[in-house]
Structure formats: C-alpha cells, structure tokens
Amino acid sequence: MSAEPARKDDIAAGAVNEALVLYTSFGRSPFPRARLPDVAAVFGEAAALELKARILALYEEMQLPLPEPDRKEGRKSATQRAVDAIASRHPELDETGLKVLAWTYSFGLR
C-alpha cells in the first residue's frame, strides 16, 4: 500500500519537468502544444493522465493573478513575475520546467 503514494510523489516531483517538455513540444515546436501521446509513450497511459492534470493545474495557477490592466507591464516582466511566483510555491520545478512554463505563459499573452 505504501508503494502507490510514493509513485505518485515521484511523478509529481521528478517527472513533471520532463512531462512539461514532452506535453508542450518545447524545443520542437514554434508554439506550445498539448501532446498527451508523447507523455504516455514515456510514462504510460495512467501516469500520463496524472501528469497532464498536474501540468494543467500549474497552467491555471500561473494565471492568478492576471496582469493588472492599468499596470504598464510588458509581456516579459509579466511572464517573469508569474514564473517567480510559481517557482517559490513549487520547488519540484527545475530550470527546464520553469522555462517551459514561461514559454507557454508568454505565448498565451500574445
């Protein structure tokens, strides 16, 4: 029984960074994509669904708070603010994971 929670912890802590790269096609696509089959090919179907939920939760968390309309903030500084905030709350995200999140967030601001 203790093996299952450890597996979920491993997925959340270690694999989320790799899954972000795979899911978004970071480094292979000019824009973020949603490639669940790429994640499933590496981690299996069940883990891929868990990782997708984790990735979507990170996306949603980065949206709050949204840039203030009256604040003269460019896309670069808004992205950096969002990345700094999520990095402080999620130490499991490494440099690559944070770069992927910055890329997807910035793309969404266009």
pLDDT tens track for 21-32: 999 999 999 999
List helix spans (H) across the chain: 3-10, 16-24, 36-43, 45-62, 75-89, 95-108
Average pLDDT on 67-71 reads: 60
Count of domains observed in the chain:
1
Q: What's this model's pTM, rounded to 2 decimal places?
A: 0.81
Q: Which domain holds residue 32?
A: 3-108
CB contact at 8 A, 38 and 22: yes
Higher pLDDT, 14 or 35: 35
